[in-house]
Amino acid sequence: MTAQRTLDVSHLPMFEISSNAPLWWGQIFLAFIEGTMFCILIAMYFYIRLNVDVWPPPGIQLPHELLPAIELALLIASCAGSYIASEAAKKNDRGGIIGGMVLNVVLALAALALRAAAWHSWNFRWDSGAYGSITWAILFLHTLDVVADLIFTLALVFFAAFGAYGPRVRLGVHVDSVVWYFLVAIWIPLYVTVYWGPHIVGAP
Amino acid sequence: MTPLADTPAVELDDEPARRELERSWARRPGMYGWLSVTTHQAIGLRYIVTAFIFLLAGGVEALLMRLQLAHADNHVLSADKYNQIFTVHGSTMMFLFAVPVMEGMGVYLVPLMLGTRNVAFPRLNAFGYWMYVIGGLFLYWGLFTNTGPDVGWFAYTPLSGPQFSPGKRVDVWAQMITFTEISAMCVAAELAATVMKMRAPGMSLNRIPMYCWAMLVQSLMVLFAMPAIMVASNIFLLTDRTIGTHFSNPAEGGDPLLYQHVFWFFGHPEVYIIFIPALGMVSSIMDTNCRRTIFGYPAMVLSLVATAFIGFGLWVHHMFATGLPQIGEAYFTAASMMIAIASGVQIFCWLATMWTGRIRMNTAMHFVLGFIFIFVMGGLTGVMLAAIPLDLQVHDTFFVVAHFHYVLIGGALFPLFGAFHHWFGKFTGRMMDESLGKLSFWVLFVGFNLTFFPMHILGLKGMTRRIYTYQAEMGWDPANLLATIGAFVIAAGGVLFIWNVVKSWNTGVMAGDNPWSSGTFEWAATSPPRPYNFVYLPAATSRYPLWTLPKERVAVTGLRNDRREVLVTSIMDGEPQHRYVLPGPSIWPLLLSVLTTIGLIGSVFQFQWYYLGMVLATIGLLGWFWQRKPADIEP
């Protein structure tokens, strides 16, 4: 037994649902990783464009304009669902969490349906030239991230509704909203690259 | 927050707290318990031991290469075997030894030095380790089944593309990268979060130990550099080879040079990812053994950060011979020379620390001084290589081989060995033998210079890298023989080191908590530390808290010990913010890594396995997230 000066922390709260949580920072760091990857893909798009005279290559139709624009609007709107859910998580409002995340998923699924429709109409594949490779890579990887996040959002809805609802789930909902903001935000430059790229840096 | 100086002194009874912590941090029994461990000491030690096994493998490959090159027209290895062995040697040393061992040391030491109980994401930590082991085994499975990659550790296209490298060799390499990068990124994210959010109360930014600063900077570099290699090896190389994309096919609008850009955007920072943790180790060894605070702490921290930033602006100096525009290359020359300023600041701060300190010349200090000598030589050839005319002359010759072994062995391996001697007492509870340690240092130091100094001369005489033999009339025999002899001297030093480790682990002198009278928190824990590190978390009252008087030190109370509770503090000032419960042991990290492996290895042979892998990984993650109701946590 030794006499020591002490700092009592028993009055501090458990599991703060905010950017003070280590998990929030872990999520930010994962967004750094994904963000760097997408930035490199954008750089690759324009690098590859420098190598050829005609962009997009002959025979490739220009991408749809209307559907992706609506899709982008829907994705931005779906952030409202994430925001509602994460604010509800901070206030420990179970109904708000579920409602917000369902809104998020529904709008995101509608956006994905539009993306699929526009994607389906392309007359080129990943193996028809470097233009096809890079545009497919961007779209495939972003869609993969979006689908993965939606699956885990649904899992959180399930946990919040039927599972071990508690501060861990609430923290999960909060950082899930951060992931979603990131995925939507990074889609803006990706969208500009894939759908406006051929117009901005294209040449017949 | 209450100023730490004003807190009252009370009598603390350690025993009940200790008993509760032993129970809540216990590992599950048996094999299952071993596989489901999530404590950072266990996983850190596994990283270190595994990495040293890969170092041995890489060393054996180096000896085989040196045997082959010992004299002209030698035929120990065939050309094809030689190609596989130098590729696997480089890949092992970079991806399976250097990065993982630095991560492992960080996983072990950072939570201890910060005064907390574990890393921020213990299960992610375990997952990263399993991914690393599987990736390493996969590469060696390739080598032993004659599917070892044979295109150099950077696998340039078009040589590595579908046209010139049919078969599965390059795919094995590319997928091994995926495994090890996932592992490195897991550790980076968790260490960065730990350093930012889980420091001891009172540990403001200007009290973070230099080693933890180094690991924070290194982790952030990993987060920005490693995605590039994932793009290069996975999106580029694997898809070009398996599903017919055209990223590096000039006939279809692609460009092989693009691969080099993306690869070196990772590859150059990679050098600093290995080197920066070593700088942190040197600072820790230096302040302890000079028995004074490190000279120029703010300048040291800033030069670490500057190194990290400039490190991202150098990649083109690996590509001077590719015919890029001269004006662009000149910028990279300037940047390459600028980084010598940041490294120079560190060197001079260490010199000042030694000058004004009372040096204790133990084995660790020997390795640190060896590091300064060798690394300065490697740095000088680095500045030479940054000049385009000289680089064009010696590009792809043994001059470059000599340069980067001086930088990497001198800059990373010597500090690592020093660190190993320094912290061995903490890892195992016993001290390394000092006389044997000093002997192994001198053997390694002499062997190293004997091996790699002649390579400068060979390079200037025109001997190119990656040739499996040469003709007698080239006049390269004597220097090559010298290098081969040196390689075996290094091997002898390695044997001495291993002997010392084995002997000391069993019969070494007991270390006690703080054998070197160091100032940082890891020495406040028992040797070896218990899984919870500290009975009462410490608070930081200065930059070297153990060098303050015991009555001035502060212990944190009020955390619950019947579950894995830790304290979260603010980023800038280390003010306590809230309490946090870390997860306990879990088998899911191992299961998830196996499920991911099915997809990753399957896709080497058939791309569609990726989809199966994604489904399986999703199932694994859902299992990971699944939890029974934690009865003791109010919503």
Q: Which of B67, B139, B99 is nearest to B413 (CA)?
A: B99
- Banded pLDDT at B631 (limits 50, 70, 90): very low
pLDDT at B5 over 80: no
Q: Which one of A6, A131, A173 would you mutate to disrupt binding with B, by most B Cβ within 10 Å of its Cβ? A: A6
User: What CA–CA distance (Å, rounded) separates B526 from A114?
Assistant: 60
Does the beta-carbon distance from A133 to B239 stay under 8 Å? yes
CB atoms within 10 A of CB B513: 15
Residues B191/B219, Cβ–Cβ less than 8 Å: yes
Q: What is the mean pLDDT of residues A45-67?
A: 88
Q: Residue A6: which of B188, B557, B577 has the nearest Cβ?
A: B557
In a domain, A82, yes or no: yes
- Banded pLDDT at B266 (limits 50, 70, 90): very high
Q: Residue A40: which of B223, B228, B626 has the nearest Cβ?
A: B228
Buried b / exposed e across B190-222, counting CB within 10 Å, b at 16+?
A: bbbbbbbbbbbbbbbeebbbbbbbbbbbbbbbb
* Alpha-carbon separation of residue A129 from A52, A57, A64, B254 (angstroms): 11, 8, 19, 8
In a domain, A4, yes or no: no
**What's the confidence (pLDDT) of residue B327?**
85
What's the CATH number where A169 sits?
1.20.120.80
Helices and strands in chain A: count of H runs, count of E runs: 6, 1
Q: What is the mean pLDDT of residues A55-61?
A: 87
Does the beta-carbon distance from A132 to B11 stay under 8 Å? no
Residues B599/B614, Cβ–Cβ less than 8 Å: yes
Residue B320 CB-density burial (10 A; 0-12 exposed, 13-18 middle, 19+ buried): buried
Q: Which one of A5, A47, A52 would you mutate to disrupt binding with B, by most B Cβ within 10 Å of its Cβ? A: A5
In a domain, A172, yes or no: yes
Q: Residue A15: which of B13, B244, B580 has the nearest Cβ?
A: B580
Q: Residue B11: which of A3, A41, A172 has the nearest Cβ?
A: A3
Per-residue pLDDT of B529-571, as tens digits, reads 999 999 999 999 999 999 998 888 899 999 999 989 999 999 9
CB atoms within 10 A of CB A177: 24
Tell me the count of A-B CB pairs closer than 8 A: 226
Amino acid letter for position B102? M
Q: Spell out the residues 6+ positions from residue B304 whose beta carbon is closer than 8 angstroms to its own.
A: B213, B214, B217, B276, B279, B280, B342, B346
User: What CA–CA distance (Å, rounded) separates A77 from B468?
Assistant: 61
Q: Which residues in chain A touch residue B198, judged by CB atoms under 8 angstroms apart? A: 22
In a domain, A3, yes or no: no
Count the domains in chain A.
1
Q: Residue B9: which of A5, A29, A37 has the nearest Cβ?
A: A5
Residues B169/B148, Cβ–Cβ less than 8 Å: yes
- CA-based nearest residue in chain B for residue A93: B635
Percent of chain B exceeding pLDDT 90 equals 84
Q: Does A73 touch chain B (CB under 8 A)?
A: no
In a domain, A195, yes or no: yes
User: What CA–CA distance (Å, rounded) separates B409 from B93?
Assistant: 10
Q: Which helix (H) or strand (E) is B219 found in, with range?
A: helix B210-230
* Alpha-carbon separation of residue B562 from B15, B22, B633 (angstroms): 14, 9, 12
In a domain, A72, yes or no: yes
A residues 152-171 near B, CB within 8 Å? Answer: 152, 155, 159, 163-168, 170
Distance from CA of A120 to the nearest CA of B (A): 18
Domain that holds residue A140: 22-201
Per-residue pLDDT of B506-527, as tens digits, reads 999 999 999 999 999 999 999 9
**What's the confidence (pLDDT) of residue B626?**
81
Per-residue pLDDT of B304-326, as tens digits, reads 999 999 999 989 989 998 888 88
In a domain, A79, yes or no: yes
What residues are paired with B10 via a beta bridge?
A: A4
pLDDT at B635 over 80: no
User: What CA–CA distance (Å, rounded) separates B231 from B225?
Assistant: 11
In a domain, A2, yes or no: no
Q: Does A25 touch chain B (CB under 8 A)?
A: yes
Q: Which residues in chain A touch residue B252, judged by CB atoms under 8 angstroms apart? A: 129-130
Q: What is the mean pLDDT of residues B392-418?
A: 95
Whole-model pTM: value is 0.96
- Banded pLDDT at A2 (limits 50, 70, 90): low
User: What CA–CA distance (Å, rounded) separates B408 from B454?
Assistant: 17
Q: What is the mean pLDDT of residues B136-149?
A: 96
